[in-house]
Each structure stands twice: as structure tokens, then as C-alpha cells.
Amino acid sequence: MLKKDLIKRSPAGRIIGEEEIDRVNFGAVLSRAGVGKTQYLVQIALTKLLKNEKILHISLNDPIEKIKARYLEAYNDLVDSIGYVDPQKALRLWEEIKNEKIAVSYNEQTFDPEKIRAYLKSFKKDDLTLPALIIMDGLDFDQDLNDTLKGLEAISEKFGIPIWYSMQTHREQDFAPSGYPVQLEKVKDRFDKAVFLQPKNDKIESVILTDENRSNEYYLLNPATMMIVE
Amino acid sequence: MQRNLEKVRNIGISAHIDSGKTTLTERVLFYTDRIHKINEVRGKDGTGALMDSMELEKERGITIASAATHCDWKGYDINIIDTPGHVDFTVEVERSLRVLDGVILILCSVSGVQSQSITVDQQMKRYEVPCIAFVNKCDRSGANPFKVIDQLKNKLGHNAVPMQIPIGLEDRHDGVVDLVTMKAYYFEGAYGEKMVEKEIPEELQDEAARIREEMIDAASVFSDDLTDAILEEQPISEEMIYDAVRKGTNARQLTPVFMGSAYKNKAVQPLLNAVVEYLPSPLDIENEAIDLDNNDETVPLVSDFEKPTVALAFKLEDGKFGQLTYIRVYQGAVRKGDLLTNTRTGKKIRTGRLIRMHSSDMEEVNEIPAGHIGAIFGIDCASGDTFTGSGVNYSMMSMHIMDPVISLSLKPVDNKAEISMSKALNRFTKEDPTFKTYVDKETNETIIQGMGELHLDVYVERMRREYGAEVITGQPRVAYRETITRKSTFNYTHKKQTGGAGQFGRIAGYMEPTDEWFEFVNKITGGRIPTQYIPSCEQGFKSCMEKGPKMEFPVTGIRVTIDDGAYHAVDSSEMAFAAAARGAFLEAYSKAKPVIKEPIMKVVIETPNEFQGSCMGLINQRRGIIEGSQEEGVMSVIESKVPLSEMFGFSTVLRSSTQGKAQYTMEYSNYKQVPQSVAEEIVRKKEEEKKEDQK
């Protein structure tokens, strides 16, 4: 029951569409530094964890302790958003789902998609359930990522796992003529879905850039919790 | 012994295995004139370092038991406990931390903060022991003390502040720059015994000034004088910095970091200066005991030699002259010939020889005053016992002791071995509360239990070497437990009224899960079960906890509530109600959805990056949960939780999967319900074993 309530409240589920999260090879959350890309990605991952599905969170910036803390914080924010919840019940659910998350922190300089492939292969080899989602946080889209994205695309297709990325934009940079941030413009053919976050007054505005059905849906988020402001 | 307690330090040296604590202690003893020659751990001369007094420790190059020693440094009396680094022996670390006032946390400048450093750090937190850090092995290839300082901050959450910077690293490590005195120190002589002060090399002056500023900034939080001096741009005296850093350290809000290389005899003397300068004296620490005569209220202990004595036995050793009991005196003084009471047993003991230990050598003393660590010969007690003088009945707080998670059967090869084994087990169980032993009633085998494979291995080995007890060991077995998952009711009548003395008792109520091992709640009203039979009911239920009725593992986590019953004026007896309770337990237990629980271990693998994927695969294969994996330079650290039953033989598999380049550590984490499919397999195996035993 609590699980269902939390999934319903999930900002990621509501903005992107619960089913839509899976219907991609690549998805991206874009914003300039410090707006809340990673926390938004964590909310996307939480929708999977709440269905008892495994997720693989790869970070090129955060140490694993920080990743763990981000998940706990996002879960607590989600719980708080539905009003009173029996704390014991919430804790039990957290204990149940937290182990579905695998956090891996790679060094940005030496990161190679082959490392992920080797790991996922071990799941196949031992006939274990594969992660349902990969979060890829910290790739620098100002660089030429062609080879890396190619490798990750192959992984997404081979193992059938959607990958959601964080993509950092810059305040001083103009948008491309298409209306996309330049970081997305360069790689837009590879991405099925992209969510753009930008500060608006004391809130954060979220809009989907690549979904025609939803491109006019704007949501305001609380910058502290990334929950939708009703 | 030093009676001015401001000049006493009781310190421990804690760290990850192989980070060089024994080597460091050896240097400390050399520089403080306690020994006149330095032996290396696993040294070429085959003698081993002095602190590793057990033969086995010398061979394995690790410290198993804490050896206590003391030394003098600049008029200060320093008592040192050398603590073991392997997690399997953490009870030793815990006991040491209980009696220490401060700790030097040693970290390797190459491998940095490792999983066991985290365990040791948690233990320090639990006992609120202030610490200073020493980044050792700065002479090693890949040494980077500043990376380690960052790890201290990020991984352990310390407010780590460098008090020195190195003069060169790796093979060019020559000495250190002290950021308080702003002088460079070099270490000359065959054993680095001559500390030479020079000006800071030019190329390090800017760096030293910058880091000193950061250090003073961090320290200023703890001293108004220092803050005022900074704001008013007044000169900052060395004393101001010492005072601020001492305050921060004692409040456990600042960790001053020192660096050097014990092996290359660099910068050990400044570390000794730091011990006396920054770590607390017994007067700075508040200790408490439980007053057994006053509703277990906590009472403060004062380091006053004239007050009634309170001392804690924190370690036992079997020596040539009988049992040697290490004690820390918290109040009063233990004097030769004193009459003390062991508050656990209530027995009075007369103290005989008192000694101060210097590793395996002893120095006889007449008294051990409050604030000091020493040892008593020839008294019979267990580790953790409290001794008090007349007028008080105090007990020191109990120490946090974990239940064993693994067992091993032992079979002595002959009668002689059986006698020796029994002697050895008697000794080990007294020394180590996490090591337990019992005789299995069905198989008649002696079973030993402990915290890990290595823990048990070491005791089996000690049995052979120290007691000459040759034993054959069985397969290690996991300590499974049973528990219930839902509430269920019982209403059981025990009736035997056909001939002879009759038996009658009816008990009704319910059982439900709880976090405690066992709870009994009596809600009988109106004398439906007479009061005199209630303890028998409780006893009857409790007796069923030893072995689950279905899977035969010890049962845990049950609350039994009785709320109804019946008795017979003639046929009811204590025995009848105990039997009724056993029947009621059986009736309710099977309905309460019993499950098996297994010990889960925290496993941390450190592997070269290229093997990260395959190591994570190994964890997956073992029903393990990967909590996270992190690249740190060329190495990856994988943190995971794995059932203990899946970890047997893991070291061999890990070696072959990583060309021997990965290593792992393992420690107990918690008990968790076994998945259904695995539970069925466990029950099947258990039944097979039972059949085998019956043959």
C-alpha cells in the first residue's frame, strides 16, 4: 500500500510518466550545476526500487557513501510528501528496497563502458535478474562522448536496460536553434527522452523537451526536495 | 608509578592489519629507552617484534592479543595497549578501547582508510575515545598522506587537520615540517634516534604556510584566545595552538594528523610529543560505574587515590606463574595485599604480586594507582569483571559483546589431547567472551564458536602449540537461528490421570515476534494458574528456545503471553505446568510461521580496477548484495553483504579470479531471514546429517 502511494507521488513518475521511464534506450536530465539533476535521477531510480526492481547507479563524481545518502534523502522526501506515514512502516520498506540499489563510483578519467558490460555479463552468466535501470551520473557532455555513448548504447540494447544520464548545461550558453541546450543538441539522435530543469523564482521548473505529448506540461518543484509543488 | 595524573597517558594503537602498528610500537619503546634494539615484525633475524609476544603472532606477523606496555617520554608515563587489527579479534580492540583514554589511529599512506579502519573508528566512537592519526609508510611507493587525510574526512567523517607536512615522499621521504613550530625535523643516527631541527626547505615554505593557516583556522573554533589573536592580527603562540587542538581532540571534534615512516624511523618522536600534548590524561576523562546497591544508578568515578578502589579486569593471560589479569584502576589504588571484591561473583580476593608489563617482561610494583594500567598475578576472574575495595559495590558498564556466528567441531586424537584441549578451552573462554564452547549432546562432539574462520583457526592453532592438544576439526558450520514471523495462539492441556500420581495443567495465550531473545508476559488473573506454577510455565517455554521443534536451530525473538489456564487441586504440579508450557510452545510455534535466519557478513574486497566486474560477479553468485563499489586510484573497493554460509572457501576463489591480486575482509553484520528455497536446502541437509549421526 505504502509502495503504491509513494510511486503515485513520485515526481519522476508524474512528470515523465511511469511507463515512459522504461521506454527509452537513453534518457537525460539536464540542468546547470547545482539545480538538482542527480536528485531527480535518484527519484527516477526510486520508482524502480519501489517496484522491487534492481537499479545500477553509476557515478563519476560522488563517492558511494554520498550516493547512499542521496537515496535515503530522496526516499525520506518522498515519504514526507504524502503526509503522516508510520515511521516503522517507512523504515521497513526502506530496508526492503535499499538493497536493490547497486552504487558504483568510477573515476571519470578511466571510465570505460566495458567495465559495466563485464559486470552485467556476470548477471547473465549466473542467471540472475539484471538491473531494470542504469543511472549514469557525471559524464561530461561538453567533451566528445561519441565512443562512450556508442559503448553504452550497445549495452542498453544488448541487456535491454534503459540508461538515464545527467547532462550539465551552462548558464552563460545560448540554446541551439532547435531550442535544445547545446549539450543535448550534439547527441539528440541517441536520446529518446530529456527532462530540463531550470530555476524559476524560488522553485525549479521542469519540462520535457523530447515528448511532444508532454512538451507543454510544466511542473514546479521544491528545490530542497524535488517534490512537485501542488 | 606517576602520581601526577596530568602526566599519565593511557593510549592504544589501533588500525587496519599491516598498517604498521607493531612496528610503530617497537620504535616508541626504542626511543623511550624501554628496549635497546629494534626487531622488525617478521624480521630477518627471525625474532619478531617485541610486542608480538605470542609465537603465532610472530609467525603470522599480526597481533592477536593486546600486549600492554609502558614507557616514559619527557617525564610523562605512557601506558600503551597494542591492539589487534583483524576484525575477527575485535573483542580485544573493544576491551582495549574500554580502558583507554586516547588512541593513535594508524593509517597507511598508500592504502589509506580501509574497511577495518572504519570498524575501529566506529568502536572508538562507541567508547568516545579521542584520537590522533598517524599516516605511516610515507616512504612507500604511491604514498600520499593528503589523500589519506581526505579519506579521513570523507569516509570516517573526521575533522582531520594536518599538523605536519612531509619532507619528500616515497624513497625521498626525509622528515617532516611541524606546522606549529614551523621547523623542519630530520631523523639521523642508525635508528633515527637523533631528531635534528632545521629551517623549512625553501620549496616547502609556501605550502607549509598555507596548510598552517588552514590548521589554525580549524583549531580556532575551539579557542577564543586563538580566534581573538587571529581577528586582532596578534602573534599566535605555540601554546595557543596546542591548547586549541587539545580541546578539539578531547571533544572528538578534531583529529590532528601526523605523518612519517615507523619502518624508516622517521617522525616517531614528534608523534610521541603529540601524544602528551594532545591526548587526554585520566583526569580529562569522565568515567562511570553502576552502583549495584542503588538501583543500578550510574555514579561518576574519580581518579582519587584515597577513595574506595574500583578496577576493571580487561584482559587475562595464562602465564608461567598462573593467570595474569590486566586491570585498569579507575578510583583509589590497588595495593599489594589489598582485599578486593569481585562484584560479579561476590568473592573476596587478596591481591598478590602486582606488576607493570613491558610486553612479555614484567616489573614488580607495590601499587597500581587510579588512572593506571597494570596486572595482578594469581587471581581467578573472567575478563570484564569489576574489583572494588570496601564500601562500594560498583560494576563497570558491560562491554558490547557480539554473539558468535560460526562453529566448528573438535575431536581430540587421544586421551592426553582431550585433557589438554579441555584446559585450553577453559582458558580461552575466560579470555575471550566471543569465543564459546559446548558439548553437543547428540554427537558428543566438542563445539567451538567464534566470530569468523580465522578466529577459530587461531584458537585451534594455539591449542596445538601452547597446550599440545592435537585435535581433528570438522567442517565449519554456520550458526543458524529460528524465529517466528506472526502471532499465534495456544491453548494446551497436559493431562495424565490414568494410574499413579496424576498430572494436570492447562495454559492458554499467544506467542508473537519480538526483538529480544525471549520475553514472558504473565496476564493470568483470578488465580486460574496459581502463582507458584508461573515460574515453571516460563521455564517450560524457555526450555523450548534451545532448539526449534522443526529445524532444530536455536530459537530467538519470541514473546509469550499467558492469559488463561486451569489447574487441578491434587494433580497439578510444577512439573505438569512445565510440560504444559512445552506442549503449548509446540502447538503455537508451527502456526507462527517459523523461518530460519542466517548471519550476514559485511565483506569488503579491494581489487585492481580490471577485476572489479568479476569480483562483483563473485558476490552476486553468493547471494550477496553489493552496497557499492568505488575506484580509488588503481584499486577498486567493493562493499557488500553476503551470507556467511556462502563465504567458505571464498579466499581461494577470489585468488584464482584475480591472479591473487585482490584481498578481502569480512565481519559480522546482522542476522537475516533465509530465502525459502535456501531454507528448504538447509533443512534437508540438517536431516541428512542427523541420519548420518544416527548411523
The pLDDT averaged over each successive group of 10 residues in chain A (230 residues) is 88 84 88 92 94 93 88 93 86 89 85 87 84 94 92 94 94 85 91 91 87 73 87
pLDDT band with cut points at 50, 70 and 90 for residue B268: confident
**Could you tell me which chain A residue has the CA closest to the CA of B631?**
A106
Question: Cβ contacts of residue B524 below 8 Å, gap of 6+?
Answer: B534, B562, B563, B564, B565
ipTM over 0.85: no
What does each C-alpha distance from B441 to B422, B438, B547, B626 come to in angstroms? 17, 9, 12, 39
Query: Quick check: B123 pLDDT over 80?
Result: no
**Could you tell me which chain B residue has the CA closest to the CA of A108?**
B631
Q: Which of A65, A116, A119 sits opposite B155 (nearest CB)?
A: A65
A104·B620 Cβ contact <8 A? no
**Could you tell me which chain B residue has the CA closest to the CA of A122?**
B617
Q: What pLDDT does B90 receive?
A: 54
In degrees, rounded to 5, the angle at the alpha carbon of residue B604 between the alpha carbons of residues B599 and B605 is 130
Length of chain B counted residue by residue: 695
**Nearest by Cα to B289 from B436, B149, B422, B388:** B388
**Nearest by Cα to A73 from A39, A31, A37:** A39
Å between B642 CA and nearest CA of chain A: 12
Q: Which of A54, A98, A122 to mutate: most B Cβ within 10 Å?
A: A122
Instruction: For residue B672, give the H/E element and its range.
Output: strand B663-673
B631·A106 Cβ contact <8 A? yes
Q: Which residue did the predictor score with more confidence, B513 or B378?
A: B513
B631·A121 Cβ contact <8 A? no
Q: Which of B154, B616, B625 sits opposite A63 (nearest CB)?
A: B154
**Could you tell me which chain B residue has the CA closest to the CA of A106?**
B631
Q: What pLDDT does B65 receive?
A: 45
Residues forming a β-bridge with A220: A205
B613·A119 Cβ contact <8 A? yes
Per-residue pLDDT, averaged over B280-295, amounts to 85
Q: What pLDDT does B563 receive?
A: 93
Per-residue pLDDT, averaged over B655-664, amounts to 80
Chain A partners of B641 at a C-beta cutoff of 8 Å? 99
Neighbour tally for B445: CB within 10 Å: 15
B620·A115 Cβ contact <8 A? no
Identity of the highest mean pLDDT range in A156-165, B197-206, B295-304, B660-669: A156-165
**Nearest by Cα to B463 from B440, B446, B443:** B446
Is the Cβ–Cβ distance between B524 and B577 less than 8 Å? no
B616 touching A (Cβ < 8 Å): yes
pLDDT band with cut points at 50, 70 and 90 for residue B46: very low
B614·A122 Cβ contact <8 A? yes
Å between B218 CA and nearest CA of chain A: 23
Å between A82 CA and nearest CA of chain B: 28
Is the Cβ–Cβ distance between A145 and A165 less than 8 Å? no
A63·B629 Cβ contact <8 A? no
Cβ pairs A/B, distance under 8 A: 65
Å between B308 CA and nearest CA of chain A: 46
Q: What pLDDT does A30 receive?
A: 94
